[in-house]
Amino acid sequence: MKVDRRFKIGAHMPVSKGFYKVPYETKEIGGNSFQIFNHSPRTWKCSWPNDKEITKFKNSMRDCQINFDNAFVHSGYLVNLASPKDDVWEKSIRLLIEEIKTCELLGLKYLNIHPGSHLGEGEEYGLKRIITALNRVFKVVENSDVIILLENVSPKGGNIGYKFEHLGYIMSEFKGKVAITYDTCHGFDAGYDITTHLGMKKLIEEIEQTVRIENIKMIHLNDSKYPLASAKDRHENIGKGYIGINGFRNFLSFEEFQNIPLILETPGSNLEHAEDIRILQTEILNKI
Ligand code: ZN
Ligand code: MN
Ligand code: MN
């Protein structure tokens, strides 16, 4: 499928065949942006890419004309900067530092994280814990150009960051480089109704009062398997869920969001994502 240069579109891509494959596969599915894990997301350590792998990756980025500004890394699943368990918290800090260093090696500048879960200790505790952790990370990688993206999450399991107030608070207290990812499924889970004009007005107003629109560097474009405010965190393919084609048309008709990379984390892999991109292009972006 032809890549539409007006928009930045892509998906979460597998890295199993090597980092250098990602730009080529991104082009194959009709994208010009992507997100990856930079190590196995279920482990506590990074496997450093060697010089050869790094060169191959940078060459393929150039070959495929993918801008490093439109390439994102998602942190591993185990990281929990709000954890009340000291061992998990310490390991999370260490792993995040390794992930940042891996980003640097690959020339990638955005690392997306979930703020963390307080696991029952309360939101105030969780927020403080996250800020302490991030400031400790920043002390070690102070000179890094990598920007941490705080993702809004679903309001479940003691999660911090389901509302912009949380993200804004972390942004104001963290001394390092930080910006925001907006996930449409998680936002819908938390009651942000992007399917209506009024809902969008309220969303934009809340963003402006907290994190500011210009700090949103990535959209996780996911439909939702469950209705508004369900707090389920079940992503659905574009148009097949409760946000739906019309909901995404409404969301993307606001020009505030049109220049931000739209990254799919919908069910399936490259094949399904190619279909999601086709629907996004033909049914949504061409009709706004
Ligand atoms: Zn995420
Ligand atoms: Mn997401
Ligand atoms: Mn999710």
Q: What is the CATH classification number for the domain harbouring 231?
A: 3.20.20.150
CA of residue 39 to ligand 1 center, whole Å:
15
State the pLDDT at residue 6: 86
- Considering the domain boundaries, does residue 127 fall inside one? yes
Question: Among all ligands shown, which has an atom nearest to the Cα of 77?
Answer: 1
User: Quick check: is 3 in a domain?
Assistant: no
Query: What DSSP designation does 280 have?
Result: I
Catalytic residue among 74, 118, 166, 273: 74
pLDDT at 3: 59
CA of 154 to the centre of ligand 3 (A): 7
Ligand 2 center–CA 52 separation, angstroms? 31
Q: Is 95 exposed, middle or buried (0-12, 13-18, 19+ CB in 10 A)?
A: buried
Measured in Å, residue 73 CA sits from the centre of ligand 2 at: 11
202 pLDDT higher than 90: yes
Q: Does residue 37 sit within a domain?
A: yes
% of residues, the chain, pLDDT over 70 = 99
What was the pLDDT predicted at 219?
98
C-alpha 121 to ligand 1 mean position (Å): 22
Q: Quick check: is 118 catalytic?
A: no
Residues facing residue 117 across a β-bridge: 159
Classify residue 2: in a domain, yes or no.
no
Catalytic residue among 118, 129, 166, 220: 220
* Chain mean pLDDT for the chain: 97
pTM above 0.75, yes or no: yes
- Give 11-24 pLDDT, tens digit per residue: 999 999 999 999 99
Maximal CA-CA distance, the chain? 51
Pairing of strands 235-236, 33-36: unpaired
Which range marks the domain in which residue 136 is found?
9-287
Does residue 125 belong to any structural domain of this protein? yes
12 is catalytic: no
Give the tens place of pLDDT for each residue, 82-98: 999 999 999 999 999 99
Q: Which two tokens stand for residue 259?
A: 């220049």
Alpha carbon of 10 to ligand 1 centroid (Å): 15
273 is catalytic: no
Sign of the C-alpha dihedral, residues 183, 278, 194, 110? positive
Whether residue 20 lies in the annotated active site: no
Our answer to whether residue 86 is catalytic in this structure is: no
Tell me, yes or no, if 39 is annotated catalytic. no
Q: How many domains does one find in the chain?
A: 1
110-132 core/surface letters (b: 16 or more CB in 10 A; e: else): bbbbbbbbbbeeebebbbbbbbb
pLDDT in tens, 213-252: 999 999 999 999 999 999 999 999 999 999 999 999 999 9
pLDDT of residue 1 exceeding 60, the answer is no
Percent of the chain with pLDDT over 90: 98
Write out pLDDT tens, residues 159-193: 999 999 999 999 999 999 999 999 999 999 999 99
- C-alpha 28 to ligand 1 mean position (Å): 24
Instruction: Note if 193 is an active site residue.
Output: no
Q: Is the pLDDT of residue 208 over 70?
A: yes
Is the Cβ–Cβ distance between 260 and 217 less than 8 Å?
yes
In a domain, 1, yes or no: no
